[in-house]
Amino acid sequence: MVAVTTIRSPLADASETIMSTRRLVLVQGHRSDDTPHPQHTPIEQAVNRAIRAGFRVGQRVRIGRVDGYVVGYNIGDFGRFGGERYPLLVRTAFGVAKCSVREVAAA
């Protein structure tokens, strides 16, 4: 099975493509029930909380008065702006920012 996906910016005109089109190959697999579940890292937990709060890729948001949209999740585990504290990547007219869930609001 082959799937094709393209993500377009809700803030840009139709000619701007954020992610190029790629072919995805789906591979059949399975996971037995007796496989132990790995411990989730604090970054995974922060990203999952952001997703459950409604901040999915493509979601229009505001950082204060600046409009933007979620373009991804910060999985970095070093430096001042790690994914545990700033799990959201938000594109604005000023560039991409790493944000906490408390810093953004749904637009």
CATH code of the domain covering residue 102: 2.30.30
DSSP letter for each residue of 5-18: EEEE-TTS-TT-EE
Instruction: Give the residue, 21 or 2, on which the prediction is more confident.
Output: 21
Contacting residues for 41 by C-beta, under 8 A, at least 6 apart: 77
Q: Please give the tally of structural domains in the chain.
A: 1
- 61 neighbors 90 (Cβ within 8 angstroms): yes
Instruction: Give the residue, 62 or 30, on which the prediction is more confident.
Output: 62
- 70 neighbors 101 (Cβ within 8 angstroms): no
Residue 22 lies in a domain: no
Residue 99 lies in a domain: yes
Residue 73 lies in a domain: yes
Residue 1 lies in a domain: no
Which residues constitute the domain of residue 54?
42-106
37-67 pLDDT, tens digit per residue, is: 667 789 999 999 999 999 999 999 999 999 9
Residue 32 lies in a domain: no
Q: How confident is the model at residue 23 (pLDDT cuts 50, 70, 90)?
A: confident
Q: How confident is the model at residue 5 (pLDDT cuts 50, 70, 90)?
A: very low
Residue 27 lies in a domain: no
Examine the pLDDT at 7 and tell me if it is beyond 60: no
Residue 24 lies in a domain: no
Instruction: Give the residue, 11 or 42, on which the prediction is more confident.
Output: 42
Mean pLDDT for the stretch of residues 66-74: 96
Residue 68 lies in a domain: yes
Report percent pLDDT > 70 for the chain: 70
